[in-house]
C-alpha cells in the first residue's frame, strides 16, 4: 500500500461529504428520498464488489496490506457512489455546473473502478497498461475545473424548489436495483459466505424500497387530505366555505326540529376603509382575527363559514327558541367590541348581523334561510348609516323603521 493509495482512499470520504453537503444546501425539502434512492442502488453495487472483488481477494489469504487495499478501494467507491447518487437525485436543476460536477465525480469513480478491477479480471496486465486508465481520471479533473469556471458557479449552492414528482428515471433506477440481485444469484456460483451476503443485501434492498414506497404513499395521503380540506374550507381564515355550509345546512334542515337551525349573516363594518387606508395585508389580518374570534364564540356543533370578502355566516343548531337565538346574536356582536391590534396599529371594526330561523319560515330551504338572513343584515347596515346621518327633525325615516322591523322579526316586514 503506497502513499498515493492512502491519500486516494482517504480523500473519498471528504469528497463524498462535500457532495452531500452541497446537495443539502441546494435542497429545500430534505434529502431523505435522495438518500433512499442512493442507498438502494448502493446495496447492489456493494454486493457486486463483495462478490467479485473483496471475496476473491480475501479468500484463503491472511490479512495483509494488499488484502486491506482490495477491501478499502471498493468500500470507498461505494461511499462515493452514494454521494453522487444523492446529488444526482437531490432537488434542483441538473444543468450547468451541476452536470459537470456529476460527470467529473462519475469519471473519477469509473477510472478508480477500472484501475482496481483490471488486475483481477486480467491478471496478465502490466502496471503500464493499467496506468492508461489514468486518462479517465484526468478527464474527470478537467470537468471539475469546468465546474468551477462555469458562469453559474456562484449560484451553485442556491436553494432550489423541491419537486415532489417521481421522475421515471427513479423508477427505472429502483427496478434495476431490484432485478440485479436475483439475476446475479441465478448466474453465479454462490458459496455459503456469498449466500449470507446475498440474503443480507436482499433484506437491505427490500427495506429501502419499501421505505421509499411508504413515503410516496404518505405524500399522496397528505396531498389528498390537503385537497379535501381546501375543497371545504376558506383558504385565508380556515373557516368552512359556501359549499360546505350549504351541505351542512341542507342536512340540518332534513332533520326534524322545532325551532330549526338558525342562520346568522355577518358583514364587517369599516372593513373597506381599513383595506383602502392600510392595504390588503391589514385587511387579511382583520379577517383572520375575526375568524378566530368567531370560532371561539361558537357552541359545540355550530359552524362558522366565510362566503367571501368580509361576509361570514354562522349556522347554529339545537336552539330552543328565540331567546337562545338572541343570546347567541349578542355574543356574536360582542366579537367586534375590541379592535384588532397589529403592533402599534388598531383597527376598529363593527358588524351588521341578520338572522333567520327555519321555524319562522313557511318553506325553509338553505337558499331561503341565507337570503332572509342576508336581507336582515343589509337592513341593519342601512339603518346604521341612516342613524349616523339623521334628518333635520330627528325623526326616523320610513326606510329605517322598515329595516328595524326586519331585525325584530328576523325576516322581511309585512307589506302595507
pLDDT tens profile 161-191 = 655 666 676 777 778 888 888 887 777 766 7
The residues carrying an active-site annotation are 310
- On the question of pLDDT at 17 being above 70, the answer is yes
Give span(s): CATH 3.30.70.270, the chain: 242-409
Name the most confidently modeled range: 33-47, 65-79, 106-120, 326-340.
Answer: 326-340
Dump pLDDT digits (tens) for 270-328: 999 999 999 999 999 999 999 999 999 888 889 999 999 999 999 998 888 888 889 99
- Cβ neighbours for 247, distance < 8 A, ≥ 6 positions apart: none
Topology of domain 242-409, CATH:
Alpha-Beta Plaits (3.30.70)
Percent of the chain surpassing pLDDT 90? 28
- Cβ neighbours for 350, distance < 8 A, ≥ 6 positions apart: 268, 269, 270, 336, 384
Closest C-alpha among 72, 407, 161, 106 to residue 265: 407
- On the question of pLDDT at 396 being above 50, the answer is no
CA-CA distance, 366 to 248, in Å (whole number)? 9
Amino acid at each position: 500500500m503506497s502513499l498515493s493509495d492512502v491519500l486516494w482512499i482517504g480523500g473519498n470520504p471528504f469528497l463524498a461529504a462535500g457532495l452531500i453537503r452541497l446537495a443539502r444546501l441546494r435542497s429545500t425539502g430534505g434529502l431523505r428520498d435522495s438518500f433512499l434512492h442512493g442507498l438502494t442502488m448502493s446495496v447492489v453495487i456493494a454486493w457486486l464488489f463483495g462478490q467479485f472483488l473483496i471475496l476473491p481477494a480475501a479468500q484463503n489469504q491472511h490479512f495483509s496490506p494488499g488484502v486491506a487495499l482490495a477491501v478499502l478501494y471498493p468500500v470507498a467507491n461505494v461511499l462515493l457512489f452514494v454521494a453522487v447518487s444523492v446529488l444526482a437525485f437531490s432537488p434542483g436543476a441538473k444543468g450547468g455546473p451541476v452536470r459537470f460536477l456529476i460527470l467529473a465525480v462519475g469519471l473519477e469513480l469509473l477510472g478508480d473502478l477500472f484501475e482496481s478491477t483490471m488486475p483481477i479480471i486480467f491478471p496478465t496486465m502490466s502496471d503500464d497498461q493499467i496506468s492508461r486508465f489514468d486518462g479517465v481520471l484526468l478527464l474527470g479533473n478537467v470537468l471539475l475545473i469546468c465546474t468551477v469556471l462555469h458562469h453559474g458557479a456562484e449560484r451553485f449552492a442556491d436553494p432550489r424548489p423541491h419537486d415532489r414528482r417521481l421522475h421515471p428515471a427513479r423508477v427505472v433506477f429502483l427496478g434495476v436495483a431490484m432485478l440485479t440481485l436475483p439475476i446475479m444469484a441465478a448466474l453465479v456460483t454462490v458459496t455459503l459466505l456469498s449466500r449470507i451476503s446475498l440474503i443480507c443485501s436482499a433484506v437491505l434492498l427490500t427495506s429501502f424500497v419499501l421505505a421509499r414506497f411508504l413515503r410516496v404513499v404518505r405524500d399522496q395521503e397528505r396531498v389528498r387530505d390537503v385537497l379535501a380540506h381546501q375543497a371545504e374550507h376558506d383558504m385565508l381564515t380556515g373557516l368552512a366555505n359556501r359549499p360546505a355550509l350549504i351541505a351542512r345546512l341542507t342536512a340540518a334542515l332534513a332533520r326534524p326540529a322545532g325551532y330549526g337551525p338558525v342562520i346568522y349573516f355577518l358583514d364587517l363594518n369599516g372593513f373597506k376603509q381599513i383595506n383602502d387606508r392600510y392595504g390588503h395585508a391589514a385587511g387579511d389580518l382583520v379577517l383572520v382575527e375575526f375568524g378566530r374570534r368567531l370560532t371561539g364564540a361558537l357552541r359545540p356543533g355550530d359552524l362558522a363559514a366565510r362566503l367571501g370578502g368580509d361576509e361570514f355566516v354562522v349556522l347554529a343548531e339545537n336552539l330552543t327558541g328565540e331567546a337562545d337565538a338572541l343570546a347567541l346574536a349578542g355574543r356574536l356582536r360582542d366579537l367586534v367590541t375590541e379592535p384588532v391590534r397589529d403592533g402599534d396599529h388598531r383597527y376598529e371594526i363593527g358588524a351588521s348581523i341578520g338572522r333567520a330561523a327555519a321555524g319562522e319560515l313557511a318553506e325553509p330551504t338553505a337558499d331561503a334561510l341565507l337570503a332572509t338572513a342576508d336581507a336582515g343584515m343589509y337592513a341593519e347596515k342601512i339603518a346604521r348609516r341612516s342613524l349616523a346621518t339623521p334628518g333635520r327633525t330627528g325623526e326616523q325615516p320610513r326606510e329605517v323603521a322598515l329595516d328595524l322591523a326586519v331585525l325584530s322579526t328576523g325576516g322581511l316586514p309585512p307589506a302595507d
